[in-house]
Amino acid sequence: QTDDSRAALIPRYIRVNTNCWTIDEAVQAFISRGYTLTGPFEANGFRFSTGFAKDEHIPDLLAFHPSVRFVDDPLYQAGKIILQDKASCFPAHILAPPARNDSVVIDATAAPGNKTSHLCALMRNRGKVTLFDWSVDVCVLKPCSCQLFAFERDRKRFTTLKTMLSRAQCHNVEPVNSDFLTISPEDPIFSRATHILLDPSCSGSGIVNRLDHLLETEAQMDGEQDRLNKLAAFQLMMIRHAMKFPSVKRIVYSTCSIHATENEHVVRQALESEEALEGHFKLAPPKEVLPLWNRRGLQDEMVHPVDALSLVRCSPGEDATNGFFVSLFVRTDRAREGAD
């Protein structure tokens, strides 16, 4: 299959930004423009370029014909719609931060910010963060409720992140231009984190126009394996760091890679790490991880093949998405485990 034929199988997805309006209002707006709401998107595409559908897995996601463009659309410019592939909506949906007063969420690798604004919408944009009170001599952490911290280490990408968050009208997000790995889990501000989303830099090999069939020679493949090993070591470090936060209960780790090296192998090593054993982290059961999605992790790549059922994979084109991988680590209840 060529990249073009794969791309033709991927609808143009837009996530309705519920910070600004409801899915029903968005559907009506598209109908009034001449689009027709149809049944679910099928692998062979919509019959008409004016058809659109509500996604069956992600609430607030709409699928349009692959030929439709929204980049210049006033709704996009106004932040009312977010251009986001379906698979890229899975991490925030699976992390499922509650819009409650006691949840504190970290997006550890945030720019350009699509998943951050998704988390913000799921939290119903609640809880204004004011980190420092400059009205007194010493910086004081002001009490606040439900809140979201978005880390981005790259300065340029941090600027993009801030622009995107402002356009998406995210009011409960505190963007932080820092390396997540330098943040102390004991820091009084961040130690309260209950949910962490990790979507670190990866090979990007699942993105349809970057697929790995371009690697032809053995030397190229050797170089690529070396690069993947380095990425995997960094990805594992990020998960182990997230597991050190004392209040964290749920950690989502995702990549847009198709390689087991960056996916199942990283998860496998994270489960065996000191941090996972000490913190009692396990993979969430399959019923908590997008249960209606059929494509799961690669069984042969896990120590316990059954663990693969807890992992979500997307095959580029074949699943009407880019290639993607998602896992959910949860802290298990020690007392209950002892009683079982």
- Residues assigned a catalytic role: 256
d(CA 132, CA 143): 10
Q: Which is nearer to ligand SAM, 88 or 310 (CB)?
A: 88
**Beta carbon of residue 196, minimum distance to ligand SAM (angstroms, whole number):** 12
For ligand SAM, which stretch binds (CB under 6 A), given 33-41, 53-61, 148-156, 293-301?
148-156
x-or-dash string of contact with ligand SAM, 70-89, rule CB under 6 A: ------------------x-
- Tell me, rounded to whole angstroms, the distance of Cα 38 from its chain centroid: 27
Q: Residue 39: CB partners within 8 Å, gap ≥ 6?
A: 53
Report CA torsion sign: 331, 336, 337, 340: negative
258 exposure class (CB count in 10 Å sphere: 0-12, 13-18, 19+): buried
Contact flag: residue 245 with ligand SAM (CB under 6 A): no
Neighbouring CB atoms inside 10 A of 225's CB total 12
**List of E strands, the chain:** 12-16, 36-37, 51-54, 61-64, 81-83, 104-107, 147-151, 173-176, 195-198, 250-255, 281-283, 312-314, 324-331
Q: Which is nearer to ligand SAM, 290 or 308 (CB)?
A: 290
Contact flag: residue 147 with ligand SAM (CB under 6 A): no
Contact flag: residue 185 with ligand SAM (CB under 6 A): no
Q: Which of 55, 60, 152, 307 binds ligand SAM (CB under 6 A)?
A: 152
Contact flag: residue 60 with ligand SAM (CB under 6 A): no
**Beta carbon of residue 251, minimum distance to ligand SAM (angstroms, whole number):** 14
Contact flag: residue 321 with ligand SAM (CB under 6 A): no
For ligand SAM, which stretch binds (CB under 6 A), given 20-28, 47-55, 61-69, 152-160?
152-160
Contact flag: residue 153 with ligand SAM (CB under 6 A): yes
x-or-dash string of contact with ligand SAM, 165-184, rule CB under 6 A: --------------xxx---
For ligand SAM, which stretch binds (CB under 6 A), given 49-57, 104-112, 184-192, 215-223?
104-112
Q: Which is nearer to ligand SAM, 153 or 195 (CB)?
A: 153
Classify strands 104-107 and 195-198 as parallel, antiparallel or unpaired: parallel
Backbone φ and ψ for 310, nearest 5 degrees, come out as -85, -10
Contact flag: residue 262 with ligand SAM (CB under 6 A): no
Comparing C-alpha atoms, which of 267, 274, 280 is closest to residue 308?
267
307 is in an annotated binding site: no
Question: What is the maximal distance between C-alpha atoms in the chain?
Answer: 65
**Beta carbon of residue 116, minimum distance to ligand SAM (angstroms, whole number):** 7
For ligand SAM, which stretch binds (CB under 6 A), given 27-35, 57-65, 107-115, 140-148?
107-115
Half-sphere CA count of 169, side-chain side, radius 13 A: 15
The residue assigned the tokens 């989502």 is 252
Classify 245 as helix, strand or coil: coil
For the CA atoms of 237, 301, 281, 190, the dihedral, rounded to the nearest 10 degrees, stands at 30
> Which residues carry a binding-site annotation for S-adenosyl-L-methionine?
152, 179, 199
* Contacting positions for ligand SAM (CB under 6 A): 88, 109-115, 151-154, 157, 179-181, 199-201
